[in-house]
Amino acid sequence: MKITRATFDECMFPCYTPLDLLLVKGKGAVLTDSEGRTYLDLTAGIAVNSLGHCPKLLNKVLKKQSRTLIHCSNIFANKYTLTLAKTLQEKTPFERFFFVNSGAEANEAALKLARRYAFDKYGAEKADIISFSHSFHGRTFFTVTVGGQDKYSDGFGPKPGAVIHVPFNDIEALKQVLSDKTCAIIAEPVQGEGGIIPAEPGFLAQVKELAHSVNALLIFDEVQTGNARTGKLYAWEHSGVQPDILTTAKGLGGGLPIGAVMTSAEIASHFGPGTHGSTFGGNPLICAAATEILKEISSDKFLSKVNERAELLTAELNKIADKSPLIAKVRGLGLLQGLVLAEEYAGKAGEIQRFLVNYGVLCLTAGGSVLRIAPPLNIKKSQLRQACAKIAEGLEDYSRIHQI
């Protein structure tokens, strides 16, 4: 059986439009395609591969755990899921944990929990969820409706109700819609898919104060910003604003599917037996791997190196922005950075992303006008410099060819 990029069009749902290459191998921050071409990877599987591709740590634990216990369902307790929960308990201020398979599932669970908490304590009328424009919280129908981008939720029939959107970083707009019916406010500390937009100083603290003024819960979606991506284990630590519920996924598994919901014992108690569940969530194989990933990325030494790389990356990207007419500015936090396109190149991010493949560098987009950079957290500094040099070269050529 011969497999090529064309095979995708022959057998897959057309939800994606993959780049014109077929990946066959990855090691560290380098990917190799079926033609033997190599690429520096600044995508990390969309901020998933914390330690790069096929790290020894992950290979070792998967080999060991696959011989011990792979799956047993949540009908039973198992050592490996509980070890991950206790490790998170030690490394965060949260008390109770629920494991799922993805960020969307984590947010789905968190939103359900917030509504159940409000229902139990204050009654059925307290059900409004406030979210922010250009946010992204997953692809289930509930989470895609809560996410503030109609392009992802339109066309699927009636949407879940009692969901309100306001502009991000606009505290006055939030005040206008806040009411006693509000049960939760959900926010990303840095909006990811919406354009790599960090919360402005003081904004998250004001959001929490407003939420608690009407007995609503504050949910932080750290699916992308969590697990050392921003130089802290979780991005809320930069502001000191601890949410009532935290969701995460992506980098926690280092390439394996896992998500988590974290909260207090009191809030978690409103998910009693039978209120929620997951067949695969928290299975022993994935939890054993996630525990080792978490131990590695949460160490002071590792976080210090993430911050060093982030400083280097930001400096290199700013050099690109200073020289390239395509780039208006750089924004982001830690190793989650965005090259914001100049106004005359708005909407061209996908085209430029594909163009840069020819220079041996892979990056992401965040909306139509931002190139998203999210490399493995342990990428070598030399590789960062090399990748940025390739981006600079590619942008220079693109600018010359597509002068506006």
User: Does residue 218 surpass a pLDDT of 70?
Assistant: yes
Confidence class for position 3, pLDDT limits 50, 70, 90 = very high
Number of helices and strands (H, E) in the chain?
15, 17
* Catalytic residue set: 136, 221, 250
State yes or no: pLDDT of 184 exceeds 80.
yes
Asked if the model's pLDDT at residue 93 lies above 80, the reply is yes
Average pLDDT, the chain: 97
Residue 402's pLDDT band, with cuts at 50, 70 and 90, is confident
* Calpha distance 298→291 (Å, rounded): 11
Helix (H) or strand (E) holding 314: helix 300-323
**In the beta sheet, which residues pair with residue 17?**
none
pLDDT band at 404 (very low <50, low <70, confident <90, very high): low
Residue 108 has pLDDT above 90, yes or no: yes
Q: What is the reported pLDDT for 204? A: 98
For residue 156, CA distances in Å to 107, 112, 136, 194 come to: 20, 21, 17, 21
Strand runs labelled E in 188-289: 190-191, 197-198, 217-222, 245-248, 259-263
Instruction: State pTM to two decimals.
Output: 0.97
Check residue 11 and give left, alpha or beta (phi > 0: left; psi -120 to 50: alpha).
alpha
Distance of CA 213 to the CA centre of its chain: 29
Strand partners, 361: 40
Average of pLDDT values for 376-397? 98
Residue 177 has pLDDT above 90, yes or no: yes
Per-residue model confidence as pLDDT tens digits over 264-321: 999 999 999 999 999 999 999 999 999 999 999 999 999 999 999 999 999 999 999 9
pLDDT of residue 349: 97
pLDDT beyond 90 at 212: yes
Q: Give the pLDDT mean for 377-400.
A: 97
DSSP tag of 360: T
pLDDT band at residue 403 using 50, 70 and 90 as cut-offs: confident
pLDDT given for residue 148 in this prediction: 83
Nearest to 113 by CA among 26, 35, 218: 218
Closest CA to 185 of 152, 236, 220: 220
Q: Tokens 């060093």 identify what position?
A: 308
| Contact between 388 and 320 (Cβ < 8 Å) | yes
Model confidence pLDDT, tens digit, residues 130-147: 999 999 999 999 999 999
- pLDDT confidence tier of residue 38, bands split at 50, 70 and 90: very high
Chain CA centroid to CA 161, Å = 25
Mean pLDDT within 156-174: 96
